[in-house]
Amino acid sequence: MPAFRYEAIDAAGLTKKGVVNADNARAARTDLRGQGLVPLAVDTISDQVDSSGKVRARGFGDKLSTNELSLFTRQLASLLEASLPLEQAFSALLEQAERPYVRDLVASIRSEVMGGSSLSDALSRHPRDFADIYRALVASGEQIGQLARVLSRLADYIERRNALVAKVRLAFTYPAIVTIVAFAIVIFLLAYVVPQIVSVFANTKQQLPFLTVVMLAISDFVRDYGWIVLIVVVGLAFMWRAALRNPDIRMRWHRWLLTAPLYGKFERSLNTARFASTLAITTGSGVPILRALQTSRDTLNNVAMREQVEDATNSVREGVGLARALSAHKHFPPMLIHMIRAGEVTGTLPAMLERASSAQEQDLERRAMTIAGLLEPLLILVMGVVVLLIELAVLMPIIEINQLVR
């Protein structure tokens, strides 16, 4: 049964907005009149997939945020664990939704479920909001009759992933702010402060120190050609992004990132943590190992490691053990390989993957804090040296004049 977004006026003359389920727009208006409302507008809530299977274009911001997805999953799991039917659970979610887009999304899924579709099929109509791994786990929970349990584990997975992302972002927030402020201060000093102060000495026709001359030249360059440099930098950034669309260039770049000094281990830890956590929840929810590997591969940002997982998947398909298949690639840490091998021998692969995932997340957090801890004093040191050079360029002519006076 389709869902319709409406705007109507009640008996007191107040405007009300909401969602109603009906066979068509006319039936929706009739239903609203039966509730004592005068409909002003009734619009169909469209899915994200059209009749040809292509994803419809959406406006800016029309997407579930990671926090909204986590909240949606946790609430749905709690309602199902309380033995509420799926239809009533979505009715409760519809009442709790705050953002209009979330209300429309929940109403659309609810109408699909009321029309006889399974939850996984209803979610497949919204691929932008619910990734492949999400839909695969929901389908697995429906097949084994443990939808509430699977959704609860899925909520734990999303919450843990959000917490990890928040910690990594927080670790790099301060260095990013320091970098921006440092650039702004240096540009301000070079473009406005240095010329005004040093020009006083230049008018006296006094021979200026070498450092002052160099600083004046840099200042003139920043004032005359700074905007050109900015345009060139932005243009190079866009060219680099366009170049990364080339599969060969992107593959070589991602391979280099895995071996880059200092950052390489962080890149490997980040992708390994995603791979291990996704594989843990998929295998623990009853998803077949080959499908779980394919889903886990799609969560990786590094295409080089994604290719290695694809090779390992082909090896597993041919009968090779997962630990042996992954050990053929050097970028997966030995600890993960050993945990997987122990899980295969003891028949506790999901539990071992969960432990490996937790260890990788802790390692990732530690590396992020280490990199951020190294960047902070380095940025402060560089900023101090630059400001010192600018101050010397300004003070040296003053010192020379004092010596001449004496």
The more confident residue out of 253 and 195 is 253
Q: What's the pLDDT tens digit per position in 300-309?
A: 888 999 898 9
Return mean pLDDT, the chain. 81
Q: What's the pLDDT tens digit per position in 366-376?
A: 888 888 888 88
- Residue 405 — very low, low, confident or very high, per pLDDT cuts 50/70/90? low
Q: Determine phi and psi for 65, rounding to 5 degrees.
A: -75, 165
Strand, helix or coil at 12? coil
Residue 261 reports pLDDT greater than 70? yes
Which residue in 166, 151, 362, 366 sits closest to 273, CA to CA?
A: 362
Residue 241 reports pLDDT greater than 50? yes
* CA–CA dist 160, 152 (Å, integer): 12
* CA–CA dist 195, 202 (Å, integer): 10
Q: Which tokens is 396 given?
A: 């040296």
Strand, helix or coil at 48? coil
Q: Look at the block and give the residue holding tokens 């070079």.
A: 190
CA angle at residue 319 from 317 to 320, to 5 degrees?
100
Q: What's the pLDDT tens digit per position in 280-301?
A: 888 887 788 888 888 888 888 8
Percentage with pLDDT > 90 across the chain: 4
Q: What's the pLDDT tens digit per position in 169-220?
A: 888 888 888 888 888 888 888 888 777 776 666 666 667 778 877 888 888 8
Strand, helix or coil at 208? coil
Residue 46 reports pLDDT greater than 60? no
Strand, helix or coil at 57? coil
How far is Cα of residue 226 from the mean position of the Cα atoms in its chain?
Answer: 33
For residue 55, the model assigns a pLDDT of 45
> Residue 400 in contact with residue 209, Cβ under 8 Å?
yes
Rounded average pLDDT over 74-94: 87
Does the pTM surpass 0.75? The reply is no
Q: Please state, in angstroms and as integers, the Cα–Cα distance from residue 19 to each residue in 30, 86, 283, 343, following that order.
A: 14, 18, 38, 48
Q: What's the pLDDT tens digit per position in 323-356?
A: 888 888 788 888 888 988 998 888 888 888 888 8
- Residue 53 — very low, low, confident or very high, per pLDDT cuts 50/70/90? very low
